[in-house]
Structure 1
Amino acid sequence: MPAPVNMFKKALAQGNIQFGCWAALGNSFTTELMGQAGFDWLVLDGEHGPNDLLSILSQLQVIEGTDTHAVVRVPVGETYMLKQVLDAGAQTVLVPMVESADQARQLVRDVTYPPHGDRGVGYALTRASKFSTIEDYGKTADAEICLLVQVENLKGLAALDEILTVDGVDGVFIGPADLAADMGHIGNADHPDVQAAIMEALARISSAGKAPGILSTQDGMTNDAIAAGALFVAVGADVLLLGNAARALASKWQATKT
């Protein structure tokens, strides 16, 4: 029996837009709720969310019971971190702050079994192989792993064309907040210069045959990104959805006080 087909990776390869949402609250209860909401994918955020390996594991378990695909963002592109989340059952990983083709090539090795990569061969003990019940896991897993890299500063943008030549990188995500900050516009990803850089980068990614990705909570930017070729598009975040709704509700009733 082979490794499960990565339907998210398959959809991107077919050019089908996948709408997602950030899951940064760091617990399985809210992530299960988000998984039932109808998004194509959720980011389990290990970079800025209060997540560790065990909390990511529990969220992978509850998402498996939904139609939503789990994308795990590791805090940094370290070999051991990628090995751990893949062994926990993630099939798609998102790696922040990729700034060179050499870094991208190492990440490909990190998610690939020998002889072509460096991923540790311990799958007999792991959830990824359903604890040894997927007999051909080791021979088939590489093809179902989806590697997404984040380009989110000027150094990364300068290296983008070279990064796009790296086989094994399935998609490139442009990080608006960090890019805006590096361009001198922190907190203002709407700045015309930032928007121009984002849209131009998405078009380059698309032209290179990779899947472009973006996070946008504004419809105008989202539509522009899709027009530029974006295929995996996060349109919100659980923290923002809860926070905005809670503040609006509190404000509504506080305003009725005399």
Structure 2
Amino acid sequence: MSAQSERPSPLVFRRRLLGREPLLGTFIKTPTGHAMEIFGDVGFDFAVIDAEHAPFDRAAIDVTLMAARAAGIAGLVRVAEPSPAQLLAALDDGAAGVLVPHVSTAEAARAAVSACRYRGGRRGFSNSPRAGRYGGLAMWPHVDAQDASVAVIAMIEDPEALDVLDAILATDGLDAVFIGRADLTVALGAASPDAPEVRNAVDRILAAARAADKPVCLMVASAEEARSYTAHGASAFMIGSDQGLMRQAAAKHHKDFAALKGAAGG
């Protein structure tokens, strides 16, 4: 039995996230479907198309989300900006959810949720794209299916967000938060993501999320690091990216073969 067949359907990703199941994901930065298919075949639970920091246009996002469907992995999109148009495009193309960058106010959190929800929100309706099975779902079944399955995740990555965490996390319809340690590190002028001021910020976010009963996602370097954050309430973890993992593997092989060539030359 393959890893793909053992993994639950991507359609229940939001339910798994809200249920605090341990989830493994990564970022996709190469604008083709191939990397998404590979992570799906390996058995990752989700992968996030990085439209904020990688060269994804609408067509590339659409193709990569199609690959996610084919590979049985939940495909999410980190939008370039939290505009209603970009959020709508990602969801209509069939994203299982969105990562909303730089949510630093409760107003920004409410606006993002509103753009992603039909009932109680302002998401523009169409059941003709992939999300509505190209018209295969009638109006209200499509509305109910999308509102039930789409995950809205706010990225907390700005120092100003730390002062309004409770208000952000109290946003109705916001499913989870992603702790952006890299952006916090740069914004705080810290030496590294392990610096005391960054650790303090992360601890504040984790504590606020526990109080609000919201799931937490963050980047980690290893399963060991993930275990340390699990004890503090985090349940969804991202390991690098397609490009980063490829570079690590390539660098290792290059180093191994350099040693072999050196030995042969000696």
Q: Same fold (TM over 0.5)?
A: yes
- Where does residue 126 of structure 1 map in the other structure? 129
Contact 1:222 1:235 in 2 (8 A): no
After superposition, residues 95-244 of structure 1 pair within 5 angstroms as 95-113=100-118, 116-123=120-127, 125-135=128-138, 136-185=141-190, 188-244=192-248
Contact 2:97 2:151 in 1 (8 A): yes
Whole-angstrom CA distance in 1 between matches of 2:71 and 2:181: 29
Whole-angstrom CA distance in 2 between matches of 1:193 and 1:218: 22
> How many angstroms does 1:222 deviate by?
2.2
Contact 1:5 1:144 in 2 (8 A): no
Q: Which one is further off, 211-220 or 242-251? A: 211-220
Residue aligned with 1:247, SS? helix
Superposition TM-score, scaled by structure 2 size: 0.89
> How many angstroms does 1:139 deviate by?
4.1
Contact 2:126 2:132 in 1 (8 A): no
* Structure 1 residue ranges (4+ consecutive) displaced by more than 3 angstroms after TM superposition: 218-221
The answer to whether residue 16 in structure 2 is matched with residue 11 in structure 1 is: yes
Whole-angstrom CA distance in 2 between matches of 1:58 and 1:5: 17
Distance of aligned partners of 1:11 and 1:139 in 2 relative to their CA distance in 1, 3 Å threshold: closer
Gap regions ≥5 residues in structure 1: none
1:22-45 Cα shifts (integer Å, max 9, x gaps): 111221112211211111111111
Number of residue pairs matched? 252
Contact 2:48 2:77 in 1 (8 A): yes
Amino acid at match of 2:221: T
Q: In percent, how many aligned pairs have the same letter? A: 30
Whole-angstrom CA distance in 1 between matches of 2:195 and 2:222: 13
Whole-angstrom CA distance in 2 between matches of 1:202 and 1:6: 27
> How many angstroms does 1:109 deviate by?
0.9
Contact 1:20 1:42 in 2 (8 A): yes
Whole-angstrom CA distance in 2 between matches of 1:228 and 1:91: 26
The answer to whether residue 26 in structure 2 is matched with residue 21 in structure 1 is: yes
> How many angstroms does 1:220 deviate by?
4.7
1:168-225 Cα shifts (integer Å, max 9, x gaps): 1000111010001111116x11213212321331232122111111011144532222
Superposition TM-score, scaled by structure 1 size: 0.91
Residue aligned with 2:85, SS? helix
Contact 1:206 1:230 in 2 (8 A): no
Contact 1:96 1:150 in 2 (8 A): yes
Root mean square deviation of aligned Cα: 1.8
The structure 2 residue matched to 1:252, chosen from 245, 250, 256, is 256
